[in-house]
Amino acid sequence: MKLQKLVEEENQFFTTTDEIEDWLLQRSIRKFNINNDLTVDVDGSVHINGDTGFFKLPIRFRNVTGDFVIINGELTTLHGCPKKVGGEFDVHRNDLQNLEGGPETVGKNYMVTFNKLTSLVGAPKIINGDFVCSKNHLTTLEGGPREIQGNFFATFNKLTTLQGGPKDVDGDYYVMGNNLTNLEGAPREVTGDFDCSRNQLTSLKGAPREVGGGFNCYNNKLTSLQGAPREVSGDFSCYDNILTSLEGAPREVGGTFQYYDNATDLTKADHSRINAAGGFISARDDDEI
């Protein structure tokens, strides 16, 4: 099986410099060098938008100093993509199912939204910008990056767990619109917002201990706030659940505490507790506070 796959990969590529040069020039890629092994280095960026003439790259890029962008196409594999991209790597709106064959190093953002991904295997372990894999078919984050020096977006997939996901995120962490029932596997700290809204959460177990922005867990099935972060610098939004108390709520909230559309209304003791945490209570206009 492995031998057959290797043969298929080798057969996808052009075998003459003339074929490679014609393909590049047809796509307005002009600052390139064809190496002895027929790999291609590009001084600048590669931008291909809406080209549905290929399912696989017919050439093997090696290094691209700028951005590498192939969007709104029909790519089914990343084999042939450069090993090193100096700028942004963007292959959104294709037909990819995994990231095997993709770049090992990316200088900025890594964007793979609106594909058919079921696996993140093949992604770099360290991302120097944002990592965005929203609107795919992911059920797991295994095989993906471990460190992200920007924002992490894995919204509107089919995730059932955060295990195997990034442990260091220097920005926002968004996993809204999945099938999560708890937050085990999330980072211990997030410098930006943490959004786990619109899931199937019955527990906040595994949530970060500290959140530098807002924490959104609204529109879930929470009956308790046990496991919530201790400190939230921004808003804390837990509305539209089935909460019966504030047991487990953060000790400190820097913004608005949004509690409404739950199983029970807030008591005076709850109000005092939120005020002591530093948060401002927010409710709908027809709620008594």
Please count the CA atoms within 13 angstroms of the CA of 102 that sit on its side-chain side.
29
Other CB atoms within 10 Å distance of the CB of residue 49: 11
What pLDDT does residue 287 have? 45
Residue at 68 is within a domain: yes
**How many structural domains are present in the chain?**
2
Task: Please give the Cα distance from 261 to 242 (Å, whole number).
Answer: 8
Residue at 194 is within a domain: yes
Same-domain status, 84 and 202:
no
Task: Please give the Cα distance from 113 to 117 (Å, whole number).
Answer: 9
Same-domain status, 86 and 8:
yes
What pLDDT does residue 165 have? 97
Pick from 184, 177, 144, 143: which is nearest to 158 by CA?
A: 177
Please state whether beta strands 215-216 and 236-237 pair in parallel, antiparallel, or not at all (unpaired).
parallel
Residue at 162 is within a domain: no
Instruction: Give me the domain span that covers residue 144.
Output: 1-151
Where on the phi/psi map is residue 134: left (φ > 0), alpha (ψ -120 to 50), or beta? beta
What pLDDT does residue 280 have? 65
Among 122, 151, 180, residue at a domain's last position? 151
Same-domain status, 147 and 175:
no
Residue at 160 is within a domain: no
Same-domain status, 73 and 105:
yes
Residue at 192 is within a domain: yes
One digit per residue, the tens of pLDDT, for the chain of length 289 reads: 333 333 344 578 999 999 999 999 999 999 999 999 999 999 999 999 999 889 999 999 999 999 999 999 999 999 999 999 999 999 999 999 999 999 999 999 999 999 999 999 999 999 999 999 999 999 999 999 999 999 999 999 999 999 999 999 999 999 999 999 999 999 999 999 999 999 999 999 999 999 999 999 999 999 999 999 999 999 999 999 999 989 999 999 999 999 989 998 888 787 777 777 676 676 554 344 3
What pLDDT does residue 3 have? 33
Same-domain status, 145 and 84:
yes
Residue at 26 is within a domain: yes
What pLDDT does residue 214 have? 98
- Kindly give the residue spans of alpha helices, DSSP state H, lying in the chain: 2-11, 17-26, 268-277
Among 92, 123, 151, residue at a domain's last position? 151
Same-domain status, 4 and 146:
yes
Q: What is the pTM of this model?
A: 0.92
Same-domain status, 41 and 178:
no
Same-domain status, 142 and 175:
no
Among 151, 186, 205, residue at a domain's last position? 151
Same-domain status, 141 and 182:
no
Same-domain status, 188 and 131:
no
